[in-house]
Chains A and B, each alone.
Chain A
Amino acid sequence: MHVVVFTRSTPDTAARVEVDKNGSVTWGDAAAVVNPWDEYALEEAIVQAKNAGGKASVIAIGGEMHTEALKHALAMGLDEAIRIEDPALDSTDSVAYATAAAAAVQKLGDVDLVILGKESIDVATDQHNYQIARKLGWPMLSYVSKILAVDYNAKTIQVERLLEQGREVLTSRLPAVMSVMKDINEPRYPSFIGIRKASKATIPCWSLADLGVSLPAARTRTVRYMNLPAREGQVEMIEGTPEEQAAKLVDRLLEEKVL
């Protein structure tokens, strides 16, 4: 049994992110951390591999900064980390990302399950998740909040998915690609020994030639980044007794026509 997780480094969630005068996105000297959604995917990979007596690998696609996320994953307890980087690979182009990711899964061979976090907060999208499944030709089990049953010998899985209207129970064949929500588990903190081991690990870097894949042309392009427009006006503080506050607030909300 072999499970693969994809992860990436993103700026610390509390960091102040802005566009500098050259038009680049910067977050000062704030640390890069593992993409917050990926912690649940990493935890689930460790649990699944342990339960099935299998192996859990983690892959990041992109530059040197993503080594941070890979080391965090190794420190948590993933067995193996790989980084994929190539000058021809723009990791913000989701179809290119998914094509390279699918090729990496095929290169590893005998993978039963690919697990991803619900989305990447830097590029603010989850599209690469579903696109990896399509490039592999595997079923996609998205927004999973619980694995109800899994049998790696019979190659079957049953999951609960969290959708807008409620919870769906879906059965599927393995191998499959799965994206997980926050309530699937409680991610562990890296142990001291884990951190020491991870800091010494050498992480292999694969190129597109190593993957033996050529990429489709990019069909989207980022033109520029912009800072948020300054918020108009100040907050209006409403004072008085709770009853007076309530009455004044309702006046304002009726004027705003939002009721």
Chain B
Amino acid sequence: MTVFVWIETFKGQANPTSWEALGAGRMVADRLGVPLTALVFGENASAVAAEAGQYGADKVLVADDATLKDYRLEAYAALLTKLVQEYQPKAVLAVGTARGRELLAAAAADTDAGLLTEVTSLEVDGGVLKVVRPVYAGKVLSEAVGSADSTQFIALRGRAFKANTPNAAANPEIITVQPALAEDQLVTKVERFAEEVGKVNLADAAIIVSGGRAMANNPKEAPPGTPNPEVWKAQDGFENTLKPLADVLGAAIGASRAAVDAGYIPYAHQVGQTGKTVAPDLYIACGISGAIQHQAGMRTSKVIVAINKDPEAPIFKLAHYGLVGDLYKIVPALTAELKKRLGK
């Protein structure tokens, strides 16, 4: 009997939010009185396995094979299913990233087990995992339980759980496992991966600076002959007004749906109902009115700052700190102040 936690890796590095899952897994394993097992698949797995030990795993199952080098659902799911069938864990946890959600769902389907996703709080009650998860676009909370009759799969919302402090003296038991499928049994192939370099990942970001429709109110003039001056102004504002603030804070850049739909910034930055759900420590909304669809994606942020010209904007009902005014005056002042105070 054990509890599994899948450690997500990208290019041989562990995704830092995986340590949050290991922290939650440690609690579950202790409550159930079973050891905690980390699963590390892919290249450079041994180094990540040692790290998993430092973050609280008693054992690490390691699969390092050419078929697992790039994450592929079919290869990873087949292996996870095989390990679940072999070890019969009480629970399998992972952070619900794009890959984590589909991997857990696939193995849960293969073993007809229960899966609860987007979990923001977790406890163990008589062998059964009890969770809270937001539903209906975050407007309502659902309390749900798994069943002790099967492995309970739990996908955690990123940044909702704390990682343990690493213990450099940890010495986990490392067990090597073989992949479940050979290359000629796999029908998908990763051709290439274009990393969006220089951008902080929204899902992992501790601080997010977001821009909305009012990004188009840039006082700068578009060069003569620009086909769509409004779009030019907004794009320039994201690059030359918001990005310097994000850089000084080490923040990721978000956007409202209105800004994305107007072509001010690519969809990958959209926060809200048809974009990403985020929960940073600090969310700074610049020129975002705060439609309910946007709130669905950011309302669980720890501290929310709203900068908006309109004192009646709905975002001020959600914000902790409100600044009424022109973002093109306030944001540069804020960037300058932060540079001074943070000594950058």
**B141 touching A226 by the CB < 8 A rule?**
yes
Give per-residue flags for A55-67: 1 if the beta carbon is below 8 A from chain B beta carbons, else 0: 0000000000000
**B322 touching A236 by the CB < 8 A rule?**
yes
The minimal Cβ–Cβ distance linking B13 to chain A, given in whole angstroms, is 10
Chain B residues, Cβ within 8 Å of A16: 139
| With contact pairs A131-B105, A169-B191, A170-B191 given, residues A253 and B303 touching in the complex (Cβ less than 8 Å) | yes
The minimal Cβ–Cβ distance linking A183 to chain B, given in whole angstroms, is 4
Give per-residue flags for B96-108: 1 if the beta carbon is below 8 A from chain A beta carbons, else 0: 0111011011101
**B109 touching A17 by the CB < 8 A rule?**
no
8 Å CB interface, A119-138 against B: 121-131, 133-135
**B98 touching A166 by the CB < 8 A rule?**
no
Contact of B337 among A181, A218, A243 (CB under 8 A): A243
Residue of A with least CB distance to B133? A124
> Does any Cβ of B come within 8 Å of A168's Cβ?
yes
Chain B residues, Cβ within 8 Å of A77: none
> Does any Cβ of A come within 8 Å of B338's Cβ?
yes
**B140 touching A227 by the CB < 8 A rule?**
yes
The minimal Cβ–Cβ distance linking A193 to chain B, given in whole angstroms, is 27
The minimal Cβ–Cβ distance linking B184 to chain A, given in whole angstroms, is 13
The minimal Cβ–Cβ distance linking A222 to chain B, given in whole angstroms, is 5
Interface residue count on the A side (C-beta < 8 Å): 82
Interface residue count on the B side (C-beta < 8 Å): 97
Residue of A with least CB distance to B195? A166
> Does any Cβ of A come within 8 Å of B74's Cβ?
yes
Chain B residues, Cβ within 8 Å of A14: 291-293
**A247 touching B140 by the CB < 8 A rule?**
no
> Does any Cβ of B come within 8 Å of A31's Cβ?
no
Query: How many A-B contacts are there with CB distance less than 8 Å?
Result: 260
**A95 touching B114 by the CB < 8 A rule?**
yes
> Does any Cβ of B come within 8 Å of A189's Cβ?
no
**B320 touching A218 by the CB < 8 A rule?**
no
The minimal Cβ–Cβ distance linking B50 to chain A, given in whole angstroms, is 23
**B189 touching A124 by the CB < 8 A rule?**
no
**B274 touching A127 by the CB < 8 A rule?**
no
Residue of A with least CB distance to B186? A139
Contact of A238 among B73, B201, B321, B342 (CB under 8 A): B321
**A168 touching B193 by the CB < 8 A rule?**
yes
8 Å CB interface, B72-112 against A: 73-74, 77, 97-99, 101-102, 104-106, 108-110, 112
**A164 touching B302 by the CB < 8 A rule?**
no
Segment of B61-69, B144-152, B170-178 engaged in the interface with chain A: B144-152
Contact of A258 among B202, B282, B330 (CB under 8 A): B282
| With contact pairs A238-B321, A242-B325, A246-B336 given, residues A158 and B191 touching in the complex (Cβ less than 8 Å) | yes
| With contact pairs A166-B195, A246-B337 given, residues A143 and B106 touching in the complex (Cβ less than 8 Å) | no
Chain B residues, Cβ within 8 Å of A253: 282, 303, 305
A168 vs B149: C-alpha distance in the bound complex, in angstroms? 38
A239 vs B66: C-alpha distance in the bound complex, in angstroms? 59
8 Å CB interface, B327-341 against A: 329-330, 332-334, 336-338, 341
| With contact pairs A133-B106, A235-B317, A246-B337 given, residues A95 and B273 touching in the complex (Cβ less than 8 Å) | no
Chain B residues, Cβ within 8 Å of A222: 142-144
**A126 touching B201 by the CB < 8 A rule?**
no
Chain B residues, Cβ within 8 Å of A221: 144-145, 147
**B115 touching A163 by the CB < 8 A rule?**
no
A125 vs B96: C-alpha distance in the bound complex, in angstroms? 10
**A125 touching B118 by the CB < 8 A rule?**
yes
